[in-house]
Amino acid sequence: MTIGGLDEPWNVARSLDDLAAATIDFLEGRLQETPLHGGLPNPESLPLIPTLVAMNRAGFVTTDSQPGSINEPTRRVQRAYVEGICHEATAARIERGLLTEDLVMVSFAPGSDVDSSIVVTVSHGSPCTFLGRWSVEELDHFRNGLASLDADLDAAWAIQIFDPQWARNDRLWTAVLRALTTD
Residue 63: name the closest of 165, 138, 118, 145 by CA: 138
Tell me whether residue 140 is in a domain: yes
Is it the case that residue 160 has pLDDT exceeding 80? Answer: yes
Q: Does residue 141 lie within any of the structural domains?
A: yes
- Classify residue 47: in a domain, yes or no: yes
Domain span including residue 38: 9-181
Q: Is residue 69 part of a domain?
A: yes
pLDDT tops 60 at residue 36:
yes
> Residue 73 domain-assigned?
yes
Q: Is 131 left (phi over 0), alpha (psi -120 to 50) or beta?
A: beta
The CA distance from 148 to 146, in Å, is 6
pLDDT for 5 = 53
Q: Quick one: what percent of the chain has pLDDT higher than 90? A: 90
Q: What is the pLDDT of residues 117-134, one digit of tens each?
A: 999 999 999 999 999 999
- Residue 167 reports pLDDT greater than 50: yes
Distance (Å, whole) CA 52 – CA 56 = 6
Give the mean pLDDT of 172-179. Answer: 98
Indicate the number of domains in the chain: 1
CA 56, 163, 181, 44 torsion-angle sign: positive
Over residues 9-16, the mean pLDDT reads: 96
Q: Which of 50, 5, 51 is nearest to 32 (CA)?
A: 5
pLDDT-above-70 percentage for the chain: 96
Q: Is residue 14 part of a domain?
A: yes
How sure is the predictor about 2, in pLDDT bands with cuts at 50, 70 and 90? very low
The closest alpha carbon to 83, from 97, 53, 56, 62, belongs to 62
What's the pLDDT at 4?
Answer: 53
Would 1 be classed as within a structural domain?
no
- What average pLDDT does range 130-159 have in this prediction? 96
pLDDT tens, 46-92?
999 999 999 999 999 999 999 999 998 888 999 999 999 999 999 99
For residues 98-126, average pLDDT: 96
User: Is pLDDT at 114 greater than 90 in this prediction?
Assistant: yes
Q: Find, among 64, 89, 79, 98, the residue nearest to 157 by Cα.
A: 89
Asked if the structure places residue 4 within a domain, the reply is: no
- What pLDDT score does 6 carry? 41
- Asked if residue 97 lies in contact with residue 103, where contact means CB atoms within 8 angstroms, the answer is no
Q: pTM, whole model, 2 decimals? A: 0.94
Residues 6+ apart with CB under 8 A from 2: none
